[in-house]
Structures are given as C-alpha cells and as structure tokens.
Structure 1
C-alpha cells in the first residue's frame, strides 16, 4: 500500500494555511467588504447630490442672476466681473463645440467617463518627471473638477474625480455633459462658457464664430492666463493652429477649410472687452442691486448666489431701447444726444421696460448715469393728468379743438421742439403728439389747482407748485 511522502503533505498544508485562515474568518471578512461597499455607496450618493443640472442656468458663487417676468436672463451680475451666457448645445453653433473637443478631448464620444490611454500617458509623464504635471482628464472629469472639486492635484483628488465622473456619465448623456462643460469652462477675461467668450473676445454670438475664431477660443482653455492674447498672442496663435489640426483629425474641418482658417487674421478680429458690462437692461439691474442692498445688506449681495425674478419684459425692453435710439437719431439735428424711457403697467405699477440712457457704454453722453432716476421736471409725463382732470370735469372731450400755435399765457410762451405749431387740432391729436401749447391751454381751462389735486389723488407724492 503506497502512501504520500510526509514532505509533500507538509508543503500542501503550508499552502492551505492562508486559505484556511481566511475561511475561518469569512464572516468578519464579508462584513468588512459589505461595510466598505456601503461606505462607497454612501460616499457616491453624497457626492453626486451636487452634480450639475443641465436644465439649470449656470450660477457661480458670488453671482446675482436677474430674470425678467418670463424667466429670461437679463444679466448675470458678479462683483468679481464673472460673465456667463448660458446656451444650449445647438445655440453654440457648429464650430465651437467641435473646436473644444479637438482641443481637450478628441475621443469624447468614444470612451467612458475615464480614458485609460490618456490616464496612462499622464501617469507616465508624472512618474518620469517626478511630479503631477500632466492632466489626462476627459471632459467629463474636467466638468467634475470645475463644478465640484478644488484644482488641487493629488491621488485622493484623482480618485474622487473618477468616481464622480462615472456617476455623471451614468446620469447624463454625452451631449448634456458637453453642453454643461461648454457653459462652465473658463476662457479668460472673466468669461465663463463659450457664449460669454464669443462676446468677450469677438463681440458676437457663439453660433456666428468662424472656424478660426472657434479654434482660437478653444485653445485658451488649457491655460487662459498663459495664452492671454493681450500678453502672449503668439502662444495663443500656436494653440489655435494645434486646434485647427485637431479639427481636421476629427473630421470637423476639411483640409481646405483648415487652410482657410489658418490664414484668417484672427488678431485683427479681436475686440476684447476685459471689463465690458453684459446686460440687456443695465440701468434696471443697477436699480435692482440697490434694492437688494437696502433689503439684505451689501455683504449678502457680494456673497451672491441670488436669483431675482422681476416684472421687466425683455420683449418690451428691446422695443423701448430701439425707440430711444430712433428718437435720439431723429433729433440729432436739434443737438439731442440722449434720452430715457420707463414703461410701467398703469394698473399695477409694475415696470416693463427701463432705459436709463441712449447708450450705457457711451462716456461722451454720461451713458451710465440713469436719467430715469435723475430729479427733473416731469415734462410731458404730466400731461395725462392735465387731460384727465379736464375730461372728468367735462371741460373738454377728445374732439375739442385746441390751438397749437405760439400763444402768450400771461407772460409764459411755451414752445415745442420744432418751434412751430400744428394749428387747430383735436385734443386727441394734441396728446398723441404730446404738443406743449395745447396742454397749457387745457390746464388753464381746467385750473391748475384741480390738476394738482387729481395728481396727488392718483398717487403723486411730490410737492407740485402751481
């Protein structure tokens, strides 16, 4: 009867000892693994609660977002000069997204949240250089970094970045992630997002960027300060060329289009507005900020993260701004260079449009000074009270004939801007064209004291002298 050598049995016993040790402690090991899995799950759930939402406008710390009555953005105001223009991917045009992909992540649509090849290359560079110098992050990882994490480079931070990036790609589509990134990434000169960058650098909408301009902006993302075209235009141009080549490699541009883009004189097209105010109703926003400071204090406003919903209507605001511009243009021959317009709902007093000057950015006319708020005579805005008082007391009807010609009212001779008159006209025509002489005639017919009493009864609190 054969038997196994003792030495062989001993060797096998030594080999089985670790397995036996683990098996004897299988309950504790299972519990430990379970605890780790629970801890990781809790961490991921806690971390992803702050993931960005593509359906929401970008709101950076310190920003005050002022919205009109329909939820449209009037201005994204920041005490630090940050500027955002939130766009959908379609509103960014065909070149800007493709240029950014060529610059930052050419295989974005073909890999997951992490690109193993890029990560391995970055790790090799870091190891051989003796430091953490290479990024290797996908656009998804970059979005996590700029939205949720600090710019610190460390192994722990990298693990956090990867975990959150995977969670992000599980929650959102590639297009949504790219759209969020393009609305948040910094391009320099206070511009966050491609919409703001297009306005800041080229004074145009992102959808109107040429391939060369899109490539130029995309090249700035890697290091906005180092590639600042005001200081290092040659470096920025080199990056532009690199991006154009990448757009050819990703078939975003044909070789012929790339050649044309390379020859384009982008430098002459730059209109960098380092401190430009980007607002659709700047005087109105200034008024809102003053109200906020009065209500909550200046510290709260500076801290920001405030969304203000207002009664302004951007559609009416646009019409009002055009009316002011047209009026100033038509009266330029009479040395008129500025104007203002405030439109309010007469039933509620809600402001619908606020144009404080003909051009907010024009220092020659003191454009930032708000004429709407400046103390002055009410002028033609008081005429409705005059006509209303006379209509209520049946002193006139809208068909009453008034005399629009030079008249001496007890030593006072009012004139209109044209220094002329329209002759005999109906009261309805006189108020429609805001004629001065007929208004004074109606005031005398009614009695100025009665006009003042009506104005006070209707809410005018200023002291009105006859």
Structure 2
C-alpha cells in the first residue's frame, strides 16, 4: 500500500474528525460559505457584470444618437412681475456666436488649460470623472467635477442641466460619438460659444464685451485666462461683485490657467512671468433694467439660484447660474408697486435731492440702500438698491460690507433677556438696570479687565444710567460691558438665530459695536423677527417661481420661535424709547405724518462715518435704511461721509431716519400699537426706581454719589459752581449748589447720533 493510500485509510481525528464521525456545525457552516463564495465564482461574477455592463453600453451607444440642440440652448427670456401680477421686466439673452478663427490660438488654449488639458488627445470623455459623477449622483452628494470640454459642451447644448443618472449616461455616449464625428475645433468653438460667463453674457464674444469692452478677437492672453477661469463660478468670480475670498479664488485660478499653459508649452515662461492680473471693467446694466428694476431682478435671480442649490435642483452655484439664466422662468416678486414707488420717492426727497456733487465732492460718495419687509409674512415689499442700476451696479440693499454699528445693540439686549443674564454684581439685566456709561471705561469680566475700553460717541460720559437710557443714547461702554456679562458666544448665537450671518464671526468684545458687515436686507430680517415676537422671519423677495419643465417649492418665510416672546417684546418696548426720547426723535417722533403711530427703532453711525443707519418698525412694517460712503471712482473704496449734504456728520438720526419716516408714514394707512408681553421698557409703565446695582467698573471702596450730577468737565473741582456748558460735556458729581428744598436735576450729554441735539450744540457754541 502506498503512502497516499495509507493516509487516506487512516481514521480522521482532531479538527477533521468530529465525534460521531460528523463535522461540527461551525466547520460545516464555514465550508458552506466557501462553497457559496469561491474565488472562481467571485471572478466569474465580476467578469459577468463587466460583460453585462459593456453589453448595455453597446446597446446605449447604438440607440442614442446625437440630438438637435435642446430648447434651453436656444434660450428664452425670464419674466418678472410685481406682487399684483403686472409686468416689471423681461430679460433677454446677450449672445453672439463667433467662429473659432476669430479667437486667437493662445486664448483658445487658455480655455483648454483651464478645463481639460488632455482635450486634444482624449476621446471626449473622462471615465474616472464620469464614474465619480455617477456615484455622487446616486449617493446624493451632488458635486460631480471631472467632465471634459466635450462633455460640458454636450451638457450645455444637447442636453439639460438636470442631475440624473440617465442624463449622465446620455452625456457619456453623445460625447464619445461627437468626438468621433466632429473635429476638436468644432467642439471647442461650441463650448466657448454656449458657456455662460456671468453678467448675462453667453459665449466668448458677449463675455469679452461685458468684461473688457473688446471683441473676442482682440482679447489678450491674460484676459482670455480670466474668462476661462470665470466658467467655474461666474457669480462668485466676477471681480466687480466678488467678496475678498472670491477675488482671491479667481486670481488663484487665473494663475492656475497660465501655469498650465506653460506646462503644456503653449506659453513661454518668460512671457508668463511678466503678466499681471487683468482687472475687468465695471459692469454695464442691460437695457430695460434702469432705475431700481435691475436691482430687483438681480435680487430675485440670486434668491432663486440659492434655492435651487438648497433643494438639490442644482449641484452648485455655477449650475444654478445656468439654470436661471437659461430662461423660461416667470418670477412673481413680493414687491408692492405702490410701496416701491413710495420708497424711491422718499430717498429722492430726503437725500438725493439734497446732494450736490458740484458744490461738495463728498456728495458723490454717498450711497443709499433700503429694504422694507412685512414682519407677518416675510415679504420684501420694497427695495432700494442705489441711484440707478445702469450707473451703480452694486445693490446697496443686499451688500454686506459696511458696519451696522449701533443697530446691533438690540441684539445684545435680546441675548441678555433671553439668557436671563446678570451683571458682574449678580443683578438681572433689565431695562432699568444701572450701568456705568463712562467713555473708555475698561470692560471687566470676573474682576479682570478684558483689554477693551470703547469710546462713546464724541467721548461722551454719562455716569450711571439705565439700560433704557443707554439704548436711547446709544452708549457704547454700556453695551460693551453687557456683551461680556451675557457672554459673547451667546450674543453671536442670538445674532444668528435672529437672522444675521454670524457663523464665521469671532465672538470678541469689539463685535458689540456692530463692527461686522451687514446688509439692509439682513438687518431688516433681524428686526422683523423681533417685531414678529421672536418667530424667525426671513426676508423673501420671490412670491412664486414657475418654469415650463421644472417646479420650485419656496420655503416658508416664517419659521420657528428662535427667541422667547418675552425677549423679543422687551427689546421692542425698549426701542420705542429710541424714537420717543432718543437719537431718532427729531426725524420720527416729531414728524407731522406720524399721527400717533407707535414706532420702535434704532439708529447707528460708524465711528469713522463710513456708514449711517436707521432700522425701525411698526407692528406691520419693518424698514432698514443704510447710507454708505463709497468712492465714486474705481476701485470704489469705503470713504467717510463727513460734510455730505451740508451736514457736519451724516448720522443715523439724520438722512436715514428721515427717509424711513417719509416712507413709512406715507404708506401707513391706520395707526396701530404693539401687542407686547413684557413689563419692561419705554412702551410700558416704567418702575418707580431703577434696579439697584453697582456699575461693573466700580470697586467696593467707592461710595454712592449723593451730589447733584452736573455737566461740568472732569477737570473741575467739587467746589466750583457748574458753568453753562453744551450738552455734550462730561457729567461729574458735585456738591449741591441749590437749597435742599429744590428738586435735583440731572442732564445727560447730547448724543452725536441725534441731529437735533447736534444742531443745538452748534447754536450754543456760536452764541458763546
């Protein structure tokens, strides 16, 4: 018997021989899995699926033909309507097809370098990029990327921008066929003539005119590289309206395009090193978009594009641009025709008619922006974007590059009430809580100075004052300390809840001065949420959006309760004091058109007078008005507005409050009062005495002042009698100079944000 036979004849033991001559269940199960998943079966299945996929692809290739250009490629305009259904505007398409021979070879290659370096060598598709796009589409991740120039041209001209597996497969097949049947020059010409470049420009000829005022044949390599870079994100990369980050990104992409050209030997390295970024010219508005129309149309388009990305219809901003600008939309806006006309009239009468650039150069640098919102629905019923869309492209109503200044102070108070915050001495923060209003008083936290000591407007000192008075007078030192008492993280969190874009803002004490950027649209939303008793109210310009092949569901502008009604109503109550006894009283309280209407609001003036604001509201209407100093000459830097309109200083209680009052009281039909659930603030019966608390800056060794406050400057000794001083002098404590039977008096320094007090000070100084 051989060795093999003897081994087979031996009884099996150990792991091979289970008791009773049967294998264990675990071994049996393991063997069963092996039988089911053998390497032969796995490999066979893989190759079978590959063959099946190849067969399916062959069928698709045979079935799918190159179609005619789609309807979107032939383009139709959008229609824009007022809220009552009447036509506001129609948009057309700015496109002129040019032969590739009219575009220089270096500019052609710039587009190839930007989008598809292997264009002249590949078969029209990028299988890896397409597979990634299919996977992202199936998994809901959205962004695709990796498409060749041929694929992008097919998507633009033969198909649609829809994000579906079917469309992606069609794109793949048609791209392969097109690459076999047409020349690379034909495909490249189609690509640069059908792509969207922003500014309403379709195709390279329209883009060359829109950005550089030249024909496509006259574009330099630098200019061509910029236009090629634009295609990735036309809205984000338009130099005229791009953010600082957007400008950095497009400059980086411009460098990327030129570096790729050098790498492919399409551009000499020495020539590349001498190139400078070609800053585009200022945009020109399209015909029919004069006045406020262009601003309204742009704002509606921007809102629609944002929604298309939010609901997944578009993968990114670039595709949203293409979907909206492809046309076929009928957009009904929330804009009320009568209120829109009234707002334009108010700005003209209270501001632009008073500006005379020939007499005062600074008058040419004043820009106005305003947004009016229905707080119960969130509808943007009126918007003022600038003097004329054809003259000033940037929409001042939606720009967020200027400081909102003291209009941010109500957010701090809202956070204090919402969080039931306390002062450094453990006293609850209410409208009657006392704070030290001394200018440049160091802000403290737990007995330590935090390195922040803001100056009050014109360095005014107020001594111990209530929160209500501090809001009325817009006292920086009080709200800086309150921000620390609440916690700056909580303050910024509340700002975000109310509607500010506070996600990327640092929670630092300087933010209490409103040092971040904000737009009138944004601030109108914040105050609308306060007016709506703490329910999130998002300003919404689009009433409905209709399209022949797609539907868009707009989100509800009224959201959930983001802060308590008590907190919102308390802020509203306090803000009535700003109107009745604060910085807005001259323009609003004493306005003959007011007719008893209850109003809440807040002024704001940046310390360098580059911006001035008034955001105010009635129970039925919220309107934010901002004035911005912008150099009339490119590159349009922020500038100061001192002396504009013949005023020594442009402040929130001046032109902005006057515009607000002329508009609001002009469109208000019936007087109304706020329905407030609070026992604090100027709108309710005040308590008999303010909350007893030390100001945070006082030390235990200090004794409470018993002398009569006066307006004597700090350098005077207590023995001096108070001379006659302007209201802006610093209050100090002095012994009483009147008989004890006379009632004490207390006079706060004037607030420079209040034009009435400013005029009184000037008159008094002239008399002296």
TM-score by length of 2: 0.27
Which structure dedicates a bigger proportion of its chain to helix?
1
Greater RCO, 1 or 2 (C-alpha within 8 Å, sep 6+):
1
TM-score by length of 1: 0.43
